[in-house]
């Protein structure tokens, strides 16, 4: 009954006021194709990583010498091993699922560590300027001059490859883009009137940084974080591929490509499957990052 | 311009010094280097002997100063593995990496600048979308995997190209594509944004109003200005490529400096690794220094500001 009264020839409330900011945001999010596709793939990868122990058809470490290098089902394989088995007879699908855990873990952890370092440096440089800015800019230049793959390889090899080492080394190496972006974002925000107002009422510097600066640069931070997460995942895969990253028998996707390399002549699916998984994951993260940038700052699109 | 040059030069020198310090500290990152060189079966006396032989028993600052001064004179010490001067091994390998780098950046530029210009001419057209697609795919594809896929296609399915070694120019085709493709997205995006910006400016409208033909407007008026930031990006990308060549060279067994570094990392041959890191970094520093100068020369606002 109420609906008939409300609609009797009169415009509805939202036609007069227009959609609320929340509705606008939701519309932008769900109307963004890249964000939806990327988000969808990422969600599937996430669920795959989280529920790997439950849904994986086999133990990813279980070797079976009798069924080595069995091709996937669409080549000539059977449904017991949908994606086939590797050179030690381990189920490829199960290894792929557990591999998602490794990639996502490394991506998140490395992006987090480098994010803390880079954001602290960038915000300090942008807010305080002067000497602090000079030192930070100098450190960024130094960091950019070092070939990251080579240094990461050398350090991981010297200390010994493991998940923790790879995460720490990547975390300590990938902060440059955070610092660059956070610095320039802070430089812009610093000149805003509300920062001056906060200073005028006597807010402490930490408080200004946390409650005035940070909320206004967090969008940029998220976008850089997705880029660096993708970067870290690719680097881990490259390190593991070169044999200086995560060590066997851990099911890292880069390692799987490396192990499949010996079968490149006749069993090229062995490198294709983990490669496609890596590609999809990184693509999804990049799409989500671009999407967040478009949705939060549509004017920044080129 | 002179003041600016000197200032830049001083900063570049400081950066080089810091990089060399970090590179040197790789020796100590995994603990006592003497124990590592001596191997697992070494006795206490062996380790002590090696420590003295390589001078690890002296204060670290003196070791660094000596290493740095020698490196500046082209002496990177002895390779643990080859028992030869590092410089000799390295300078034999470096031309291959440089060749690969130059080929790759040429490939990247000749692919990305035309694509970027075409994309900017008709935004949201099919070509623009294609260019965007290429850059999105390029950023998500692991380079080592792309290399292996090219091997599968051009050496397994259609055996027309060699995949390992560096004897002929044909050996460089696949590595060039992989390494060049890696730098394409960034250069293309920058060209496109720059062109879009320039094409919207007043002097382009004036040029069009004068009745100049399209190609003159595009290439003589617009591209010249849009390409300035691309030059410095290309310099930076060239530096990154040298670093990235380690992955590509080891897949294609191109006997360049990157491959040497990878082998040496596996052999615990630290002096060689340090030399490669230092050389690649110095190269990057010199490149960025030159591109800074070029930019300042082209754009007076940079010099003053």
| Chain mean position to CA A32 | 19
Angstrom CA distances, A66 to A86, A96, A256, A285, stand at 12, 21, 20, 38
> Is residue B294 within 8 Å of residue B232, measured between CB atoms?
yes
Put simply, the answer to whether A141 touches B193 (Cβ < 8 Å) is no
Tell me the pLDDT band of A302, cut-offs 50, 70 and 90. very low
- For A159, the closest of B18, B29, B139 (CB atoms) is B29
Residues of chain B with C-beta less than 8 angstroms from the C-beta of A153: 246, 261-262, 265
What is the C-alpha to C-alpha distance for residues A121 and A125, in angstroms, rounded to an integer? 6
d(CA A31, CA A227): 22
- Of A142, A278, A283, nearest to B145 by CB-CB distance is A278
Condensed to tens digits (0 to 9), the pLDDT of residues B205-215 reads: 888 888 888 88
CA distance A203 to chain B (A): 32
pLDDT at A168: 92
The pLDDT assigned to A113 comes to 96
| Distance separating alpha carbons of residues A132 and B133, to the nearest angstrom | 40
By the 8 A CB rule, do B267 and B259 touch?
A: no
> Cα distance from B243 to chain A (closest Cα, Å)?
5
Instruction: Decide if B222 contacts B199 (C-beta within 8 A).
Output: yes
B160 touches chain A (CB under 8 A): no
Q: Which of residues 17-76 of B touch A (CB under 8 A)?
A: 18-19, 22, 26, 29-30
For residue B262, list chain A residues with Cβ-Cβ distance below 8 A: 153, 242
Instruction: Give which of A110, A115, A229 is closest to A167, Cα–Cα.
Output: A110
Residues of A in contact with B193 (CB under 8 A): 302
The pLDDT of residue A77 = 67
> Average pLDDT by consecutive 10-residue portion of chain B (305 residues)?
87 90 82 70 77 77 83 80 83 87 90 87 84 85 88 81 73 87 86 85 86 82 81 83 85 86 85 88 89 81 68
Q: Which residues does chain A have within 8 Å of residue B283's beta carbon, measured at their own beta carbons?
A: none
Q: What is the model's pTM? A: 0.87
**Are the CB atoms for A259 and A283 separated by under 8 Å?**
no
Provide the pLDDT for residue A4. Answer: 52
- Residue A108's nearest CA partner among A267, A240, A285, A277 is A285
pLDDT for the residue numbered A301: 44
| Best residue of B35, B142, B157, B233 to probe chain A, by most A CBs closer than 10 Å | B142
Whether residue A128 contacts residue A187, with contact meaning beta carbons closer than 8 Å, is answered with: no
Q: Using alpha carbons, select from B290, B140, B277 the residue that is nearest to residue A158.
A: B277
Query: What SS3 state is found at A91?
Result: strand
**Å from A236 to nearest chain B CA?**
10
- Name which of B49, B59, B186 is nearest B131 in CA terms: B186
Query: Which domains are delineated in chain B?
Result: 89-269 (1.10.3720.10)
Closest in B11, B142, B152 to A264, CB measured: B152
| pLDDT (tens digit per residue) in A229-251 | 999 999 999 988 888 888 888 88
**Size of the A and B interface in Cβ pairs below 8 Å:** 136
- Closest to B187 (Cα-Cα) out of B258, B127, B107, B245: B107
Give percent of chain A with pLDDT exceeding 70: 93
Closest CA–CA distance from residue B142 to any residue of chain A (Å)? 6
List residues of A whose CB lies inside 8 A of any B CB.
138, 141-142, 144-151, 153-155, 157-160, 230, 234, 237-238, 241-244, 254, 257, 261, 264-265, 268, 271-272, 275, 278-279, 282-283, 286-287, 302
Looking at CA atoms only, how far is residue B193 from chain A in angstroms?
Answer: 7
Of B142, B270, B284, the CB nearest to A279: B142
Distance of alpha carbon B253 from its chain centroid, rounded? 18
Alpha helices in A9-88 (DSSP H): 13-17, 21-31, 33-50, 52-55
Taking contacts as CB-CB distances below 8 angstroms, the residues of chain B near A287 are 136
B288 contacts on A by Cβ (under 8 Å): 141, 144-145
Of the partner residues A150, A261, A283, the one whose CB lies closest to the CB of residue B148: A261
């Amino acid at each position: 009954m109420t609906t008939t009264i409300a609609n009797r020839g009169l415009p509805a409330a939202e036609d007069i006021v227009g959609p609320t900011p929340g509705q606008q945001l939701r519309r932008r999010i769900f109307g963004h194709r890249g964000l939806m596709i990327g988000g969808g793939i990422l969600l599937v990868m996430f669920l795959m990583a989280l529920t790997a122990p439950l849904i994986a058809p086999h133990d990813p470490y279980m070797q079976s010498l009798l069924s080595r290098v069995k091709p996937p089902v669409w080549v000539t394989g059977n449904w017991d091993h949908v994606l086939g088995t590797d050179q030690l007879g381990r189920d490829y699908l199960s290894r792929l699922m557990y591999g998602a855990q490794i990639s996502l873990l490394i991506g998140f952890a490395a992006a987090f560590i480098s994010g803390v370092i880079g954001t602290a440096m960038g915000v300090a440089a942008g807010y305080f300027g002067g000497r602090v800015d000079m030192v930070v800019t100098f450190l960024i230049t130094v960091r950019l001059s070092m070939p990251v793959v080579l240094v990461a390889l050398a350090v991981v090899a010297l200390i010994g490859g493991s998940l923790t080492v790879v995460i720490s080394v990547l975390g300590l190496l990938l902060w440059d883009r955070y610092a660059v972006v956070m610095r320039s974002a802070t430089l812009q925000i610093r000149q805003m009137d509300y920062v001056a107002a906060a200073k005028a009422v006597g807010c402490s510097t930490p408080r200004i940084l946390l409650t005035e600066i940070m909320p206004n640069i967090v969008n940029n931070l998220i976008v850089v974080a997705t880029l660096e997460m993708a970067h870290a995942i690719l680097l881990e895969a490259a390190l593991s591929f070169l044999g200086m990253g995560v060590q066997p028998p851990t099911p890292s996707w880069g390692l799987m490509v490396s192990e499949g390399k010996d079968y490149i002549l006749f069993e090229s699916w062995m490198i294709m499957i983990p490669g496609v998984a890596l590609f999809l994951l990184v693509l999804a993260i990049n799409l989500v990052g671009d999407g967040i940038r478009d949705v939060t700052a549509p004017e920044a699109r080129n | 311009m002179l003041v600016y040059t000197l200032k830049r030069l001083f900063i570049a020198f400081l950066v080089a010094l810091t990089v060399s310090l970090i590179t040197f500290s790789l020796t100590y990152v995994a603990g006592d280097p003497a124990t590592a060189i001596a191997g697992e079966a070494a006795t206490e006396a062996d380790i002590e002997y090696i420590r003295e032989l390589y001078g690890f028993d002296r204060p670290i600052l003196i070791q660094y100063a000596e290493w740095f001064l020698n490196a500046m004179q082209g002496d990177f010490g002895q390779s643990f593995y080859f028992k030869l001067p590092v410089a000799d091994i390295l300078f034999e390998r470096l031309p291959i990496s440089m060749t690969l780098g130059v080929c790759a950046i040429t490939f990247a530029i000749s692919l990305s600048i035309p694509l970027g210009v075409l994309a900017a001419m008709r935004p949201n057209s099919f070509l623009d979308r294609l260019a965007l697609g290429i850059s999105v795919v390029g950023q998500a594809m692991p380079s080592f995997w792309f290399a292996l896929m090219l091997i599968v296609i051009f050496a397994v399915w259609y055996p027309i190209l060699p995949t390992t070694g560096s004897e002929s120019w044909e050996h460089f085709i696949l590595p060039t594509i992989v390494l060049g493709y890696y730098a394409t997205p960034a250069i293309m995006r920058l060209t496109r944004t720059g062109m879009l910006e320039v094409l919207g400016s007043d002097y382009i409208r004036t040029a069009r109003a004068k009745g100049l033909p399209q190609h003159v407007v595009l290439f003589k008026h617009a591209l010249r200005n849009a390409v300035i930031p691309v030059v410095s990006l290309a310099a930076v990308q060239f530096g990154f490529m040298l670093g990235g060549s380690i992955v590509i060279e080891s897949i294609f067994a191109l006997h360049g400096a990157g491959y040497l570094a990878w082998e040496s990392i596996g052999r615990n041959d630290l002096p060689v690794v340090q030399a490669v890191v230092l050389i690649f970094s110095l190269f990057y520093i010199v490149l960025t220094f030159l591109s800074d100068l070029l930019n300042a020369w082209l754009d007076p606002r940079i010099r003053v500001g």
